[in-house]
């Protein structure tokens, strides 16, 4: 009898010690932790993607030290006598017509470039004209899309001129630094560009940039 009482007492005490189990999903710290991981972690990944994309975008042309580092395209350029040649300008490759092309240059100031033949500085006055874009090599991004119209407007009281599109500034005309050759700054096309007047029946200038090459029709 004493043994039975003892067993009953122990069983009762054991039942009082058991706590009820909450089987609801654990929406506390662990879920909060997952939410945190999906937050800053994703934000970090987004930042990395943005920086890498920006890096690719800035690399508009092939890196080069000299013109020999650039690979010439197979397709000929219109209105050029002879096949296209490559120049290395500020560590970017440009596709140019033969003649002044196949050169290695670097900018020394806003209006001066130092090429194989020596330093040249551009003239100050810019023309006032409107030109249309005719892409001939590569893919020109906005605002220099095919058939887009741009206005070259001389600056008032200082050298050079602004290239305007849809009410905004799309680039700079920095000067003409040798007969028929123009120095331009077109950020959306990779930065420093060379323009070369073409001998055609209408005013045409071959504009060579890291991202693409186009013909500007309409400016003299």
Classify residue 105: in a domain, yes or no: yes
Residues 6 or more apart whose CB falls under 8 angstroms from that of 83 comprise 72, 76, 98
Residue range 39-51, pLDDT digits in tens: 333 333 322 222 2
Q: Give the count of beta carbons closer than 10 Å to the beta carbon of residue 13.
A: 9
Pairing type for strands 104-107 and 85-89 reads parallel
pTM: 0.70
Classify residue 154: in a domain, yes or no: yes
Classify residue 143: in a domain, yes or no: yes
Classify residue 179: in a domain, yes or no: yes
Classify residue 20: in a domain, yes or no: no
For the chain, how many structural domains are there in total? Answer: 1
Residue range 100-110, pLDDT digits in tens: 778 999 988 88
The single-letter DSSP state of residue 66 is S
Classify residue 17: in a domain, yes or no: no
Classify residue 52: in a domain, yes or no: no
The range of the structural domain enclosing residue 107 comes to: 67-217
Residues 6 or more apart whose CB falls under 8 angstroms from that of 168 comprise 143
Measure the CA–CA gap between 43 and 141, rounded to whole angstroms: 28
Residue range 166-194, pLDDT digits in tens: 989 999 999 887 778 899 999 999 999 99
* Cα angle 99, 91, 85; round to 5: 25
Measure the CA–CA gap between 89 and 126, rounded to whole angstroms: 22
């Amino acid at each position: 009898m004493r043994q039975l009482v003892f067993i009953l007492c122990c069983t009762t005490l054991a039942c009082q010690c058991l706590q009820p189990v909450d089987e609801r999903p654990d929406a506390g710290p662990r879920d909060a932790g997952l939410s945190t991981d999906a937050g800053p972690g994703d934000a970090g990944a987004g930042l990395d993607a943005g920086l890498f994309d920006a890096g690719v975008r800035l690399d508009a042309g092939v890196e080069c030290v000299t013109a020999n580092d650039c690979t010439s395209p197979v397709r000929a350029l219109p209105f050029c006598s002879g096949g296209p040649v490559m120049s290395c300008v500020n560590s970017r490759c440009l596709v140019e017509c033969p003649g002044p092309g196949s050169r290695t240059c670097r900018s020394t100031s806003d209006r001066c470039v130092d090429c194989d033949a020596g330093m040249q500085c551009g003239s100050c006055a810019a023309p006032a004209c409107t030109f249309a874009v005719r892409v001939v090599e590569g893919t020109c991004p906005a605002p220099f899309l095919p058939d887009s119209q741009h206005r070259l407007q001389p600056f008032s009281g200082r050298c050079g001129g602004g290239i305007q599109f849809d009410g905004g500034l799309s680039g700079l005309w920095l000067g003409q630094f040798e007969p028929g050759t123009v120095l331009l700054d077109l950020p959306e096309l990779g930065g420093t560009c060379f323009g070369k007047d073409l001998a055609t029946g209408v005013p045409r200038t071959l504009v060579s940039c890291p991202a693409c090459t186009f013909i500007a029709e309409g400016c003299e």
